[in-house]
Amino acid sequence: MQLLSPPNEESHYPATETTPKTTADTTVDNHGVDWVILYEFTDTDEETAIEEYRSLIQTLDAVGLRTEVRHGNGSSLLIFIKAPNDLVGNWIYMSRVRDWLYGITQIRPAGDSQASIEGETEAEDLRSIYHLVTWQKKDGGAGITPNWGKWENIKASFPLHNQAANQELLRRWSRTTFLTSQDLDAIRALFGEKVAFYFAFTQSYSAFLTFPAVFGVLCWMYYGSYSIVFGLVNCIWSVVFVEYWKLKETDLSIRWGVKSVGALKATRMEYVWDKEVTDPLTGEVRKVFSTRKQVLRQMLQIPFGIMAGIVLGVLVVATFAMEVFISEVYQGPFKTYLDFLPTIVFSLALPTINSKLTSVATRLSKFENHRTEDDYERSQTQKTFVLNFITAFLPIILTAFVYVPFGAQLVPYLDLFRLGVVHSVSSVFRINIQSLGKEWANLDNFAVDPARLRQEVISLTLTAQVLSFGEEMVIPYVKRVLLHKYRDWQTQKTTQQANRTRAYSQATHTLLVDHQDEGPFLTRIRNEAEADVYNVQDDILEMCIQFGYLTLFAVAWPLVPLGFWLNNWLELRGDLFKISTECQRPIPIRADSIGPWLDILSVLSLLGTLSSAAIVHLYRNGDIGIIDLWSLPLTLLITEQAYLAIQYIVRTSLEKIGSDAVRREEARKYILRKKYLETFSEETFQMLSTQRLTPSRPSSSTNTTAATEHPPQHMSSSSATLSVTRSPSTKRLHVRENSNIQRITGDELDVEDHPDLSFKGGLSRTDSGSLSDQYRSMRFWSWHKTSQETIESGMKLIKVMSNLQRSKAWQTRQTSKPMKND
């Protein structure tokens, strides 16, 4: 199904002789569109749908956004949003002023409340448009949150992919082994800092894997498994990597200008506050929720963790026991087929149980009532990691520390087959139970195989990588292809039914058939609207689980790092391909780190050190032998102290070496303070200090305290106070100050602070920075001159599509009547 021919083509199209000829690929042209909203009205009556749609367009128009409408798949509309350059530029200016107020940047942008500046990257432009669409009305936005409140029928809200830049990045990455700073800047420019930090982390981790990969091959050749040399080096490596990444995060946050950006995070729509409190120092009004209540709610994580551990632990232990029994004990019929039974049971039960527990974790995180999205994600991450830790690592832990050491004593208790099934078979067929039990489940020759641990590590590490690739790349691709084929079949069937019932008139055809120049573009947008929302936390979790396998169990098979190194080369490029083709474009959220995952890496490093020491202690001779209950705890104690000592040495050494970015940042601050000292006289400084300390009166001209409120709560008032325009002399003073700062920035700091120029995709900027053919963009936005025209076209589409839906339902009932009579 396609869309939307203009009422009068001659009035909208240039004459043939003046039409520019272009060979540009229309599939990569975004027609000047900045943002898209998907509105569905499948289960909504026609009048309600029209009223909701009218309210949506009017709300967007009220904040200065231009709109166009086309139909989507099924009973849905695609609302295309275009933000004027001046409006986006003003919001970018306001954002940078807030950064300056909160100390994120040391340079105050020049201008007043009407200033408009161009964004540094596409991501900065799109972030401002995202704020325009989603921030609450009192903060200057439209207040549109998908699937929430009055906008529950809005199912998607997303920016469009920059196809040309994505394709260029994929081509560049396919020819390189390691990513450069420019490659990471390109990701930041397209998808924002939050996604860029994931790619930077994976790149740093993969580069660090080079050493254990090479060293692991050498140890495998000369020492084999359970080498104390490899275990020691692997533990030191994990400590060095974690401490290095802490410094790398700081470097990147300074390079990208997002250090301490968490102070600017907006309040979640779901946040419920108890009362409003006025800060006695700043005078700002804050909406707060009782700390006592929140702590009590967060304590529910303890019973949740216990419950999840019991449920998943029982599943893993039961599956493990079944696998051990069938593979080591059972000698009866169908053994070859029964070997797959534990895997099948685990694969069928785990997704359902994991989904239920994840749902409980999500509801629990929402119940905790976190104010910001970062706090909510931190809580959700902790619960998600606990679930994945149990399912990923518990089978190998059971093998290493339960089955192999105590298998000879425990396996006889797993002879459930002899106690249950053998008894039933012998009763039915009157066979001697003892002879049948010995024949089918003979324990006389049973012996624990110490090599099972290495086999388990090889199996799970390799299987995990293959399954992960399939889940991320193969399954979404197959699902997308099948969904598109189903959509085409459904559209063709609906059209045929409508033609038979004469509901598909020429007027309907005009509304539902795309113009030839818009067809490829609209088809791509309809596919993007139904694509999955990319969640960067899932990919970071995958890397952390891989890091856990490496630190916890790689000593059993030193080739593990080599496999991970090869996998991560493909993983980085596969993730970029997944984001570009299988998911909606991520909203460019700012972040200054990978969040709580850094703490998780530290925990895994410590646990990995203890696990490696225990495995080497138990398996160092190839045969576990007799367990000394005194020497093993002593080994773990010494290992823990050695870990803490190594961590302290590494951390202190890296801090002394320091970071060039940190040193440049300190130099920047010093130069700025020095210039401020030279610019302001002591008398002026006292005058400004007195004005700031004088209580403001409720007057529109003296509303200066709002500039320091929380960013989402003072959007409309902050800009009016940032220049402190209380007197002509003060205003002139700030103009001179701005010029000094601009001179400093341009002449002394920028080149030094940004040794690598940021990659912006090599494309011209048109509102959102996307590649746009001016002719097609002009045509696309020429159908509706005002928001009222957009409303009228959308109303016609809703009526036509509702009629088609009713016609389809009537046709279905008519078709089913003969069947009922028969």
Mean pLDDT comparison of 564-568, 746-750, 783-787, highest-scoring range: 564-568
Q: Identify the CA nearest to 438 among candidates 456, 459, 454, 415.
A: 415
Q: Identify the CA nearest to 526 among candidates 71, 168, 190, 146.
A: 71
Tens-place pLDDT, residues 246-273? 999 999 998 898 988 887 877 887 888 8
Which is more confident, 240 or 410? 240
Question: Chain-wide mean pLDDT for the chain?
Answer: 76
Q: β-strand 154-159 against 285-288: which pairing, if any?
A: unpaired
40 and 797 in contact (C-beta within 8 Å)?
no
pLDDT over 60 at 759, yes or no:
no
Length of the chain: 822
445 band by pLDDT with thresholds 50, 70 and 90: low
717 band by pLDDT with thresholds 50, 70 and 90: very low
- pLDDT-wise least confident of 223-237, 331-345, 649-663, 744-758: 744-758
Per DSSP, 729 falls in state H
Tens-place pLDDT, residues 731-748? 323 332 333 333 333 333
CB-based contacts of 643, cutoff 8 Å, min separation 6:
235, 239, 605, 606, 609, 610
Residue 338: per-residue pLDDT: 76
Alpha helix stretches (DSSP H) within 501-627: 506-512, 519-529, 536-553, 560-577, 597-619
Q: Identify the CA nearest to 536 among candidates 607, 599, 597.
A: 597
Q: Identify the CA nearest to 254 among candidates 619, 800, 755, 599.
A: 755
CB-based contacts of 91, cutoff 8 Å, min separation 6:
128, 131, 132, 140
Mean pLDDT score, 515-528: 87
59 band by pLDDT with thresholds 50, 70 and 90: very high
Tens-place pLDDT, residues 599-613? 999 999 999 999 999
Residue 534: per-residue pLDDT: 92
Q: Please state the pTM of the whole predicted model.
A: 0.81
Residue 813: per-residue pLDDT: 60
pLDDT over 90 at 213, yes or no:
yes
**Residue 82 bridge partners (DSSP):** 66
Q: Which two tokens stand for residue 714?
A: 């003072």
